[in-house]
Structure 1
Amino acid sequence: MVAAALIAGLLGAGGVASASPGTKITAQTTAEGRFVKPQNVKVKNVTRVVEQTLTIQPGGSTGWHVHPGIVFLTVAKGTITRRSADCKVETFPAGSSFIKQGDLPLDGVNLGTEPIELHLTYLLPEGAPLRYERSAPTWCKF
């Protein structure tokens, strides 16, 4: 009974907690995307968060690489083609999101005629670089 009275007092007479709106603040969504399928994400030993906007010009590529942590990517403009060392090719148009994690080297390429704009959020262990360079696989025919 005492606990119920205390909670009612904290919430106010109407039973709903009140909030104050922000002032002198702006927020801009720079990219929004959807995963093709729901993702379950578990990350250990994360100490750093880095956000980056990456632009890939027509004919450009990210180069073959891996990431030591996990990276969330959203395609804001254009279509990126992701090639992986298991010879798989995937295409992600604007409005798509995907995750990069693990030791499988990847290369993102712009096969279109317009620049690609990607928004990336890296979750990294302390001291880790954003990426490690890798050699292109010789066994895939892209």
Structure 2
Amino acid sequence: MRKPIAVVTAALAAALVLPSTASATPGSGVTGTILAQKTIGHTDYTLREVTIQPGGYTGWHFHDGTLYAYVKAGTLTHNLADCSIDGIFATGRAFTEKPDQVHIGRNLGSTPLVLEVLYVLPAGSPLSEDAPDPGCGF
């Protein structure tokens, strides 16, 4: 009887002492369609069209590898976790996203934003991973 009580007590103590993880921020107004996928060696290549409706956003997230993106229509406002804007990318512009860099993409315009994105990720990685809201207020 002492062992189960000790385990429960230890679990409760850990829950009270360890810091809690902030909640991830879900996106809004975002859809994506995979156009092509290929794994070569230990790398997944995924070509995806991402559409963000006016006022929409991706939610705070990061990627395990590099992304190469092209703005097919609209304008993307791209913020980093320190709340700075590291780019405003209009139709015809290309940009990259570095691995493990927490960011959010927002469509502050009045027309849909359409991106063509090539994800270059370690094999088996998700396309993106949620990150907690850093408290930027948007």
- Fold shared per TM-score above 0.5: yes
Residue ranges of structure 2 left out of the alignment (5+ in a row) = 1-40
Residue ranges of structure 1 left out of the alignment (5+ in a row) = 1-44
Could you say if the C-alpha distance between residues 77 and 46 of structure 1 is closer, same or farther in structure 2, counting changes exceeding 3 Å? Answer: farther
In terms of Rg, which structure is larger? 1
TM-score, structure 1 as length reference: 0.64
Q: Residue 93 of structure 2 aligns to which amino acid in structure 1?
A: S
1:87 CA displacement: 1.9
Give deviations 1:34-64, integer Å, cap 9, x for gaps: xxxxxxxxxxx75211000001000100111
1:123 to 109, 112, 120: 120
CA root-mean-square deviation? 1.4
Q: Residue 73 of structure 2 aligns to which amino acid in structure 1?
A: K
The number of residue pairs the alignment matches comes to 97
Give deviations 1:8-58, integer Å, cap 9, x for gaps: xxxxxxxxxxxxxxxxxxxxxxxxxxxxxxxxxxxxx75211000001000
Structure 1 segments, 4+ long, off by >6 Å, are: none
1:60 to 50, 56, 67: 56
* Structure in which a larger fraction of residues adopt helix: 2
Q: Residue 99 of structure 1 aligns to which amino acid in structure 2?
A: T
Q: Percent identity?
A: 40
2:73 to 77, 92, 102: 77
* Structure in which a larger fraction of residues adopt strand: 2
Partner of 1:108: 105
